[in-house]
Chain A
Amino acid sequence: MTRGDGANGGGGGGGGSGQHQGAGKLPRKRFYRARAHSNPLSDSHFPIPISPDEFDLSQHYPRYFPDGEGESRDGDAAAPRIRFADVGCGFGGLLVGLSTLFPDTLMIGMELRDKVTEYVKERILALRASNPGKYDNISVVRTNSMKYIPNYFRRAQLSKMFFLFPDPHFKEKNHRRRVISMQLLDEYAYVMEVGGIIYTITDVEELGEWMRSCLEKHPLFEVIPEELLKADPVVKLLSTATEEGKKVARNGGQTFQAIFRRISLQKE
Chain B
Amino acid sequence: MEDAAVEEAEVSGAAEFAPALVAAHPLGHSVAVAVGPELRVFDLKDGSAVSLSDNSGGGSHSDAIRALSFSVNGVLFTSAGDDKLVKVWKTDSWCCIQTITSEKRVSAVAISNDGLYVTFADKFGVIWLVTVGQSDGGQESTDNKPVSIFGHYCSIITSMKFSPDGRFIATADRDFKIRVTLFPKKPLRGAHEIQSFCLGHTEFVSCIAFTCLSEGPSFLLSGGGDSTVRLWDYINGCLLDTCQIQDKVGELLEPNETEDSNLAIADICPTNDGSLVAVAIQSLNGIMLLACDLIAKKLSFIKVITIEKCYIPTSLASSFSADLLWTVMGASNMPNQAASQLLTRVKIIPHFKKDTLASADHVPTVLEDSEVPHGEKLLLALQGSLDIAKQEEVLASVLAALKVSMYKMLVKKHYSEERREQRKRGRNDKKIKK
Residues of chain A at the chain B interface (Cβ within 8 Å) = 12, 39, 41-43, 45, 50-52, 74, 146-147, 150-151, 155, 172-173, 182-187, 189-190, 218-220, 265, 268
Decide yes or no whether B196 CB sits under 8 A from chain A: yes
Within 8 A of A (CB), among B181-219: 181, 184-186, 189-190, 192-194, 196-197, 199-202
Taking the closest CB of chain A, its distance from the CB of B205, in whole angstroms, is 12
Q: Which residues of A have CB within 8 Å of B181?
A: 186
Q: Which residues of A have CB within 8 Å of B192?
A: 182, 185-186, 189, 218-220
Tell me, in angstroms, the Cα distance from A13 to B152 when the chains sit together. Answer: 29
Tell me, in angstroms, the Cα distance from A181 to B185 when the chains sit together. Answer: 23
Pair A183/B153 contact, Cβ less than 8 Å: yes
Pair A147/B190 contact, Cβ less than 8 Å: no
Residues of chain B at the chain A interface (Cβ within 8 Å) = 2, 4, 6-7, 126, 148, 150-151, 153-155, 175-177, 179, 181, 184-186, 189-190, 192-194, 196-197, 199-202, 237-239, 412, 414, 417, 420, 429-432
Pair A268/B185 contact, Cβ less than 8 Å: yes
Tell me, in angstroms, the Cα distance from A52 to B198 when the chains sit together. Answer: 11
Taking the closest CB of chain A, its distance from the CB of B129, in whole angstroms, is 14
Taking the closest CB of chain A, its distance from the CB of B228, in whole angstroms, is 12
Taking the closest CB of chain A, its distance from the CB of B260, in whole angstroms, is 15
Pair B153/A146 contact, Cβ less than 8 Å: yes
Taking the closest CB of chain A, its distance from the CB of B74, in whole angstroms, is 29
Given contacts A50-B199, A50-B200, A187-B153, 12 further A-B contacts (CB under 8 A): A43-B6, A50-B202, A147-B155, A147-B175, A150-B179, A172-B432, A173-B429, A182-B190, A185-B192, A189-B193, A190-B194, A190-B197
Taking the closest CB of chain A, its distance from the CB of B414, in whole angstroms, is 7
Q: Which residues of A have CB within 8 Å of B194?
A: 155, 186-187, 189-190
Q: Which residues of A have CB within 8 Å of B150?
A: 183, 186
Tell me, in angstroms, the Cα distance from A45 to B150 when the chains sit together. Answer: 27
Pair A74/B238 contact, Cβ less than 8 Å: yes
Q: Which residues of B have CB within 8 Å of A220?
A: 192-193
Q: Which residues of B have CB within 8 Å of A173?
A: 2, 429-432
Pair A41/B197 contact, Cβ less than 8 Å: no
Taking the closest CB of chain A, its distance from the CB of B151, in whole angstroms, is 4
Tell me, in angstroms, the Cα distance from A103 to B109 when the chains sit together. Answer: 49
Q: Indicate which residue in B154, B189, B432 contacts A147 across the interface (CB closer than 8 Å).
A: B154
Chain A, residue nearest B412 (CB): A43
Tell me, in angstroms, the Cα distance from A172 to B2 when the chains sit together. Answer: 11
Chain B interface main SS type: loop
Pair A150/B432 contact, Cβ less than 8 Å: no
Tell me, in angstroms, the Cα distance from A183 to B186 when the chains sit together. Answer: 18
Contact A45 B4, CB 8 Å, known A150-B199, A155-B237, A190-B194? no
Pair B190/A51 contact, Cβ less than 8 Å: no
Q: Which residues of B have CB within 8 Å of A185?
A: 192
Taking the closest CB of chain B, its distance from the CB of A144, in whole angstroms, is 9
Pair B6/A42 contact, Cβ less than 8 Å: yes
Tell me, in angstroms, the Cα distance from A219 to B192 when the chains sit together. Answer: 7
Q: Which residues of A have CB within 8 Å of B202?
A: 50
Q: Which residues of B have CB within 8 Å of A74?
A: 238
User: Residue among B176, B185, B420 with the most chain A CB within 10 A?
Assistant: B176
Pair A50/B420 contact, Cβ less than 8 Å: no
Tell me, in angstroms, the Cα distance from A185 to B417 when the chains sit together. Answer: 32
Q: Which residues of A have CB within 8 Å of B201?
A: 50
26 contacts between A and B (CB under 8 A): A43-B412, A45-B414, A50-B176, A50-B199, A50-B201, A51-B197, A51-B200, A147-B153, A147-B154, A147-B155, A147-B175, A150-B199, A151-B199, A155-B194, A173-B429, A173-B430, A173-B431, A186-B150, A186-B192, A187-B153, A189-B192, A189-B193, A189-B194, A219-B192, A220-B193, A268-B185
Q: Which residues of A have CB within 8 Å of B237?
A: 155
Chain A, residue nearest B431 (CB): A173
User: Residue among A41, A172, A265 with the most chain B CB within 10 A?
Assistant: A41
Q: Which residues of A have CB within 8 Å of B199?
A: 50-52, 150-151
Pair A183/B151 contact, Cβ less than 8 Å: yes
Contact A184 B6, CB 8 Å, known A43-B412, A155-B237, A173-B429? no
Q: Which residues of B have CB within 8 Å of A265?
A: 193
Pair B196/A155 contact, Cβ less than 8 Å: yes
Tell me, in angstroms, the Cα distance from A45 to B416 when the chains sit together. Answer: 11
Q: Which residues of A have CB within 8 Å of B184?
A: 268
Taking the closest CB of chain B, its distance from the CB of A112, in whole angstroms, is 14
